[in-house]
A and B are shown apart, each in its own frame.
Chain A
Amino acid sequence: MVKFERFILDNGLKVLVHTDQSTPMAVVNVLYDVGARDEDEQQTGFAHLFEHLMFGGSVNIPDYDDPLQVAGGENNAYTTNDLTNYYCQLPSENLETAFWLESDRMLSLAFSKKSLDVQRKVVCEEFKEHYINKPYGDVWHTMRELAFKTHPYRWMTIGKELSHVENAQLEDVKRFFFKHYTPCNAILVVAGNVSTERVRELAEKWFGDIPSGEKYRRNLPVEPEQMEERRMTVHRKVPADAIYKTWHMCSRLDDDYYATDLLTDILGGGASSRLYQSLVKEQQLFTGINCYHFGSLDRGLLAIEGQLIKGVDIKKAEAAIEAELDKIRHELIDERELQKVQNKTESVMAFEDMSVMNRAGSLAFYELLGDGELMNTEFRKYQDVTVHDLNRIANAVLKPSNSNTLWYLAEN
């Protein structure tokens, strides 16, 4: 049970406080309601590039990292297709340093040309390291474009192409900042050895006078329902063939999310899952196979990816996946199997909540979903899922007309 208090500043900044006096540390987590889905199609990779620029100095403070480190703190950040999250941890006596730093960069960045020049290069190296210079590195780039025709989930957070980041101009960067990095588009969570009174006082002092900004009204193109199976084959310099299949699924906020989540676990969540046991262990068609989903806030994807054993015919391998899908669509799942994945979910949630930093991040995320309290109540929704729900979801989602298949084949 994660207890917290919530208040909202006049400028619209939501503040959540979670006290845990067993640690000498405090965590300050700022979530901005902006991700790669909010980017212009011609300027992709911005939300993520921005995450880098957030460390290049703010309007009154030339450098973010140094003063935090002097205060005994450390920090990091990440960007997804849906959101951007910044977090730092430091000894709780120095909590005000984090408020000073985070509020100044919410007020305004320094917008230094040098920082933009360097971070463009750094992001390009990140792009190369993760997506170009690795076998299978471009899979999700390709798959997203196949599966999404209108929704901005069709590009990855790193960007659609290197040139978008390479060509980013200071003016574009400023516009993006003042549109999204505002109190009314942010959630502040402070956790650890802190009191609500102290946090309220510091929040008023440091964030209170930042102009509210305009609430960003998200109006993204809706992905039309997919009516026909899509297939694509690429040839690349990789040692072995791989197959990737995706299906459109409900959003993270939908009641069906919980059944869908459990369904992916039954199919491909670990060593006793159906796909692993049947296709890796018994039929020995794949060296590895997984089923998972992206948990996106808009309607997203459920995925199966498998690496084929060399020499196995990809048609045969795909047919074996289809046979498992057929089974899960047509036969009711055993109660014990449902219980198993519910138990696993309970355990995953308990381990996730071990550290104050994770609890702070989760609170911010659930608050973005609508209510931080969901963190404490969500497991009940998993417990309510029945085998009939799973069957219904399997039939609604895992049907050929809703599927995208990518054959990723070794050249020669």
Chain B
Amino acid sequence: MPDRSKAPHIKDAIEYAIELKKPEIFSLDNGVKVYNVNAGTEEVVQIEWIFKAGNWYEKSNNIASATNFLIKNGTAKKSAYAINEYVDFYGAYVNRSCYNETAVVTLHCLSRQLESLLPLVQELFMEAIFPEEELHIFRQNMKQKLEVNLKKCDFVAGRKIDEILFGAKHPYGVYSKMSDYDALDVADLRKYYATYYQQGHCTIFSAGILPSNYPALMNGFFGSLPLNQLPIETVEHPVVPAEQKKWSIINDPEGVQGAVRIARPFPTRHHPDFPKVQVLNTLFGGFFGSRLMNNIREDKGYTYGIYSFLVNHIHGGAWMISTEAGRDVCGATVQEVYNEMQALREGDIDPEELLLVKNYLIGTLLGDLDGPFHIIARWKNLVLNGLDEQFFYHSVDTIKTISAEELKAMANKYLRPEEFYELVVV
């Protein structure tokens, strides 16, 4: 019979050497770079075309996201239905997503179907036509979805805290209003498409089991498009944070929960404190065993879950705490968050707790590097943020070596309640 009271011997995860597999990198004739991780156990492929076409570049609200969404809703040769039917027939997925700096088109398919799908993707980047009727349907449906979302306290809180942090006119703080959808016009979309897709700046990230002629294949379909030819537009957006620190909004008088957001501005990955604060954040509220979760969920039962995280934009960021708590305990939840900040500023972190966090982080990292899609995701993050693998290895080193004193210093530098904005939306 085993001795169940004694934990088995473990190898500390921090003793593991972590290696980030390098992608192969090649350039198409027009200069578009392709990062590719050719690996995996399943015969599948993922390719992402990343354009500098996020809302950073738009002149009025929602142009970037509407253009991105409607890029597959009709080309000179195919209707929206014909495109969808074609993609579905090959068991593939063509998804779009629009972020702040970038807008993405992603293809997922079985490896053997790749050659049937690349011509279609090429067509989307050359001949999308943005039919009036498709915009009409989009506008109508998005407005109604917005109306539904506005009933949710977490949705309202999510956009309000961004506005508080960055300002209503900044791309990170701006949000969709009904009138923005009404104002959308196909001419604007077509212009945005011409500038930021057809003649835009693109980087490609792919992973999976790819055919041996993959570079030639990609060059054939995308190497002669007029991409990456014009100089990259530099656009500046001033950050205008709110004056008022504490916000309380009643969105639904009968609501039984409140969405709590507590946040402060925080620098980007390029700041030397960033890797250290990543560790501190994990301990504070970044995983299930964090101080916030242990106190506010596991001890007090105020919430189903509470997390803190670093908001990582390319040009600036934030440190945020987020939860939905019972309406009558929202105030108590906020207070406990500040108590936990104080404990980190004033108390000493127990060596066991620190080792737990380090092992957890390294273990998670090991698991996160499992498979080609995960590996390419890491690289994408580095490349888009203007970083290289040194950043990755430096972060790993920081996790392995950071001391309790350094974490305390970070807590004293950043976890200062007077620098946080506080928002409760019921």
Contact = CB atoms under 8 A, between A and B. Distances in A.
Contacts, number: 216
A31 interface: no
A118 interface: yes
A251 interface: no
B7 to A, nearest CB: 5
Nearest to A27: B367
A74 B360 CA distance: 7
B371 interface: yes
Contact of B81 (A281, A288, A344): A281
Interface in A239-288: 239-240, 270-272, 277, 280-281, 284, 287-288
A118 B85 contact: no
A66 B151 contact: no
Contact of B325 (A100, A125, A344): A125
Interface in B354-407: 355-357, 359-360, 362-364, 366-367, 370-371, 373
Given A125-B324, A132-B256, A277-B81, A354 B356 contact: no
Interface string B19-54: 000000000000000000000111110000000000
A91 B368 CA distance: 12
A339 B1 CA distance: 56
Interface stretch (A16-24, A32-40, A222-230, A398-406): A16-24
A298 interface: no
Nearest to A104: B4
Interface string A108-132: 0000000001111111111011001
Q: Which of B41, B84, B150, B288 has the largest count of A CB atoms less than 10 A from its CB? A: B41
Contacts of A344: 88, 91
Interface in A130-169: 132-136
A349 to B, nearest CB: 9
Contacts of A287: 140-141, 144-145
B81 A209 contact: no
A355 B375 CA distance: 13
Give the interface SS of chain B, mostly helix, strand, loop or mixed.
mixed
Interface of B: 1-2, 4-5, 7-13, 16, 40-44, 80-81, 84-85, 87-93, 108-110, 137, 140-141, 144-145, 147-148, 150-153, 252, 254-257, 287-289, 297-304, 324-326, 352, 355-357, 359-360, 362-364, 366-367, 370-371, 373
11 contacts: A65-B288, A66-B356, A74-B360, A100-B2, A103-B4, A118-B301, A122-B298, A134-B151, A239-B148, A281-B80, A355-B371
Interface of A: 20, 22-25, 59-61, 65-67, 69-74, 89-91, 93-94, 96-97, 99-100, 103-104, 107, 117-126, 128-129, 132-136, 205-206, 209, 237-240, 270-272, 277, 280-281, 284, 287-288, 307, 309-310, 336, 339-340, 343-348, 350-351, 353-356
